[in-house]
Amino acid sequence: MAGQGVACALAVAMFIGSLVSIPTAVRSIGVCNGILGNNLPSPADVVKLYQSNGIAAMRIYSPHAATLRALAGTDIAVIVDEPAIDQFLTLSAASDWVQSNIKPYQGVNIRYIAVGNEVSGDATRSILPAMENLTKALSAAGFGKIKVSTAVKMDVLGTSSPPSGGEFSDAAVMAPIAKFLASNGSPLLANVYPYFAYKGGDVDLNFALFQPTTATVADDGRTYSNMFAAMVDAMYSALEKAGEPGVAVVVSESGWPSAGGSGASADNARRYNQGLIDHVGMGTPKRAGAMEAYIFAMFNENQKDGDETERHYGLFNPDKSPAYPIKFRIS
């Protein structure tokens, strides 16, 4: 999720409402689709909303059968999470999972499978064997083009500032994962939230919101004008220190709440998400060029746990009206 409990090439050209015509060239932003609400549209209506707004990628947090059925026959690229990584701890179990959750949906454009989302504690040591088993099971079943990864949050880094100092807090866990990703051509999925850094520390609001600011960061010959880029490059620095500089970072979640807490407002959410859309085509100071990123989230979800902000990350309200205006465009 958005936040410390949940944690999408950029692949979306999403609009909001009928504010603007979306150029087909905009394929950089995806949108995460959570289902923790008792008033959300049906999966079929959600897919139609993605299509009508030109949203080309979706992340889902489990192999939700109704959503996968609704996605069949569309060109929407999908990240499928499996939070229960113990389902992959034997090759037989991983094969059974593929037969139940991937094979029936061959008409779905599944791009990545995330083995766990923000796994912590001792369970992190099960991520690598789970990914290895799932990769073997997918290949054996004829789905070898689907890439396997895991989604991490920023506290996987022991050091994140300055960006060049980024380093994994537990290299014994993350370095072998990075090696696996490199050998399989898979990206590292990272949930990146400048909002939490702003909320929890002395961070300039404009720096967090992609707005003009004098609070820039100079580091290693590069200048950072926004916190998002600094956070992503800290993750790249950690991969470099782990010996795998070629592994790409896909931002599997990023967003800003529109209500419910410090700095949470519709205007700030609009500024952040518009800034993200406008920024990702440029990449970061360390990795220039288009990125792949997913906005959290499609809807405000009224049954999410945690802080009140957790229920206010949606680009859309449950009635499918936009929560605030966003323009998806090439900038």
Active site annotation includes 82:
no
135 vs 196: CA distance, rounded Å: 33
Active site annotation includes 310:
no
End-to-end CA distance of the chain: 28
Residue 230 CA neighbour count, 13 Å, CB half:
24
Instruction: Considering the candidates 253, 292, 301, 310, report the single residue annotated as catalytic.
Output: 253
Instruction: Considering the candidates 118, 244, 292, 310, report the single residue annotated as catalytic.
Output: 118
SS3 sequence of 242-262 = CCCCCCCEEEEEECCCCCCCC
Asked if residue 209 lies in contact with residue 279, where contact means CB atoms within 8 angstroms, the answer is no
Asked if residue 258 lies in contact with residue 266, where contact means CB atoms within 8 angstroms, the answer is yes
- CA dist list (Å): 240 to 213, 218, 244: 29, 19, 5
121: left (phi over 0), alpha (psi -120 to 50) or beta: left
By three-state DSSP, how is residue 224 classified? strand
Asked if residue 254 lies in contact with residue 295, where contact means CB atoms within 8 angstroms, the answer is yes
101 vs 78: CA distance, rounded Å: 13
With b meaning 16 or more CB within 10 Å and e meaning fewer, what string describes 146-176?
bbbbbbbbbebbeebebbbbbbbeeeebbbb
Q: What are phi and psi of 152, to 5 degrees?
A: -115, 155
Task: Give me the amino acid identity at 209.
Answer: L
Catalytic residue annotation: 118, 253
